[in-house]
Structures are given as structure tokens and as C-alpha cells.
Structure 1
């Protein structure tokens, strides 16, 4: 079996980890910084559970660009937030999303990673698209928006 694919980017935010965690753990707040916001103005969103806690979920259904899927928070503490990501359209896939917050001299270093198992679809896409470059730019955009939202 092929090794999973991991995409990772990081930034330093001038804030404490405890000030950043709510933006990551509360899926309602992703609209403030997600790089994929705005891809479908008519996006349908559904939230369940207590915001910012393990077990809370967010599901979406949108146009071809936004696709459809769900996220579930699987871990929340002062320096770690984990999310299970499931896409149902335009194709099925699952990934483990992790945010790690590390104390830094000038704030908090935020590391955003996504690990996806290698399946037939990812192997086929990998022939045509460098997934790290393809999604890495989105991660960089999202981290810049997160930094702006937190530091406002």
C-alpha cells in the first residue's frame, strides 16, 4: 500500500494559542478565514453539536467548485485541534486535518496539515497534479486570513 499524502504549511500569529484555538475548533468560525469561502455564494451549511467541542460537525453542499462533504472535530485542547474531513462530491475522499500550535518568540507558530490515504483517485490525480502545490497555496491563503482575523 502506498504511503499517505501529507500537505503542511505554517505561519506565526502574534497571539497566544488560547486566542487562536477558537478559530480552529469552532467550525462556525471557519467562514472568517477558510481559503475556500466564497466559492459558492449559495452554499448550504449545516452545523451540529456544541461549537468548538469534540463531536461538533459542519456539512456543506454547493456548486461544482465547492463540492459537498463534512467535517467533524475529533480533538480539541490548548495546542491541538484535529478534524476528520470527508468529501462526498465531486469525488469521495477522507483526510485527517490537524492544527498544531507551538509557542514562538513572537507569538504562536500554527502548523496546518492534512493527511490523505493513497487511493485510486489520488494516484490518478497525482499523475496530473502536484497535490502539495495544488492545495498548499490554499493552506497559505487560509493561514494568512487566519492571521489577519486573529490579529485584527
Structure 2
């Protein structure tokens, strides 16, 4: 019996060591990037991202908790506009603030997640007009540091795929909304 316990303990120690080594090898930061071509001018798309109150019409997270508490502060749109949320485990809680809004080409957002995991990231939307058409390529990027616990989670989860699915859904909704 003691021999079996020792074998299990050694196997468990090796498994834990392997996870920690794999986590240590992960990069110190992450980037998630998705884009979508929209048959609409940037001037039509930009206001829907630049005003957090408009996010309810396209954001992939807005309908995951019908009871989510939302608060807006600062100007209605542009630099200084802020949005805080507190919801169930599907949306967590956090705050976003627009740091830069260069109409109609770029929006930079400071993203602070509080629950379920603390995180401090930056999101950027770029609106790139397509040559010889009224179409716009909308590029959504989120980047931030990967603390060690995040790296451990990344051993088991693909953050790019997980967050990227939400970005793809949000861009598809934004596309549908602006191409009407």
C-alpha cells in the first residue's frame, strides 16, 4: 500500500512539474486579433464602437447576463468615456475606458477585468478603408500581460481561440448592423 501511495505521489509531482515547466515557457504577454470586412464606410461603423451605450446592439457579451448591472461615466463617447459592468460568471465584472478616439480610424480602450480573474489589458479597433470601395476592414485587437497563473491556465486553454470566438461574433454582429 505504501509503495502505491509513493508511486502516485511521484507521478503527481511529475505531472505538476510538467505543467509548471510548460507554463513557464509561455510568452509574458498575449495578443488576440480578429478582423472583418464590412461593406460600410468607417464613418458609419466608428460611432457604434466609440459610444459604449451602443455596444448593446453588437457586443458578444451584452446578452450573456440579462441582470448585468451597467454604469456609464464621462463623456457619452470618445476619449474619457467609461463603462463598468458587474454580472454573472459568464461576464464577470470590470471597467473599460476610451483612451484615444481618432475618428474614424482608431479607438484605444483600457480594459480592466476584476472578476472572475483580474486582468489589465488594452483593446484597439482600427477602421481601415478598402481602396476603391466604401468597404472598411475592422480590426479588433486585445493585448496584455500574461502573469504566471494566466500562463498555467493557458496550458489547458487556448485563449486566442476562446476570446477570438467572441471577437468574431462581435464583428459579425457589427457587420450585420452596419450593412443594413
Same structural fold, with TM-score higher than 0.5 when normalized by the shorter chain = yes
Of 85, 101, 107, the match for 2:127: 101
- Higher normalized strand content (fraction of residues): 1
Aligned-pair distance for 1:121? 2.5
Measure the CA separation in 2 of the matches of 1:79 and 1:51. Answer: 19
The structure having more radius of gyration, on CA atoms, is 2
Q: Does 1:87 align with 2:113?
A: yes
Q: Does 1:24 align with 2:49?
A: yes
Aligned-pair distance for 1:94? 0.9
Aligned-pair distance for 1:72? 0.2
Measure the CA separation in 1 of the matches of 2:127 and 2:74. Answer: 24
Aligned-pair distance for 1:3? 3.6
Which residue number corresponds to residue 89 of structure 2? Answer: 64
Measure the CA separation in 2 of the matches of 1:112 and 1:147. Answer: 13
Which residue number corresponds to residue 6 of structure 1? Answer: 31
Runs of 4+ in 1 over 2 A off after TM superposition: none
Q: Which runs of 5+ in 1 are unaligned?
A: none
Measure the CA separation in 2 of the matches of 1:122 and 1:25. Answer: 29
SS at match of 2:71: strand
Q: Does 1:128 align with 2:153?
A: no
Of 61, 76, 89, the match for 1:36: 61
Matched positions, count:
152
Alpha carbon RMSD of aligned pairs, Å? 1.3
TM-score normalised according to structure 2 size:
0.81
Aligned-pair distance for 1:111? 0.4
- Higher normalized helix content (fraction of residues): 2
Q: Which runs of 5+ in 2 are unaligned?
A: 1-23
